[in-house]
């Protein structure tokens, strides 16, 4: 089974701090994603990466950046955290399943609170 690991499940940070959210996948997938999940808004795509050092903005990239130096690791960076970035952050990796279909596999999520 594909494993997507988000190392920090719960974080509490202060306004203005720099925050790193790490995500690692173990199946050599090329495509990785960061979503933000808020009640009533569903999942919104922040950034995705289709290869090492390649990235593309999603629907809500403002206030975020990403880094993909190695294929297995995709990091989300909040340069200066703000209270409106308090949210659940979900990382996903995309690759072919047993049927040959491209599917997303999600990590368990990182719940960030910014005070």
Partner 1 sequence: AQSVTQPDIHITVSEGASLELRCNYSYGATPYLFWYVQSPGQGLQLLLKYFSGDTLVQGIKGFEAEFKRSQSSFNLRKPSVHWSDAAEYFCAVGVEGGSEKLVFGKGTKLTVNP
Which chain residues interact with partner 1 by CB under 8 A?
Answer: 4, 6, 31, 33, 40-43, 45, 48, 50, 56, 58, 90, 92, 94, 99, 101-109, 111
Nearest to 75 by CA among 106, 102, 115, 48: 48
Name which of 17 and 73 has its Cβ closer to partner 1: 73
Name which of 52 and 108 has its Cβ closer to partner 1: 108
CA distance 50 to 56: 8
Name which of 38 and 79 has its Cβ closer to partner 1: 38
Closest contact distance (angstroms) between CB of 80 and partner 1 is: 27
Closest contact distance (angstroms) between CB of 95 and partner 1 is: 11
Q: What does DSSP say about strands 102-106 and 87-96: parallel, antiparallel, or unpaired?
A: antiparallel
Residues contacting residue 85 through CB under 8 Å, at least 6 positions apart? 63, 78, 112, 114
């Amino acid at each position: 089974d594909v494993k997507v690991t988000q190392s920090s499940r719960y974080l509490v940070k202060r306004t203005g701090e720099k925050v790193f959210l790490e995500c690692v996948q173990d199946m050599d997938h090329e495509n990785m994603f960061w979503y933000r999940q808020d009640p009533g808004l569903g999942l919104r795509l922040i950034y995705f990466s289709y290869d090492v050092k390649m990235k593309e903005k999603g629907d809500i990239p403002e206030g975020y950046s990403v880094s993909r130096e190695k294929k297995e690791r995709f990091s989300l960076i909040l340069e200066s955290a703000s209270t409106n970035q308090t949210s659940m952050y979900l990382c996903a990796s995309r690759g072919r399943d047993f049927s040959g279909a491209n599917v997303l596999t999600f990590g368990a999520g990182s719940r960030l609170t910014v005070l």
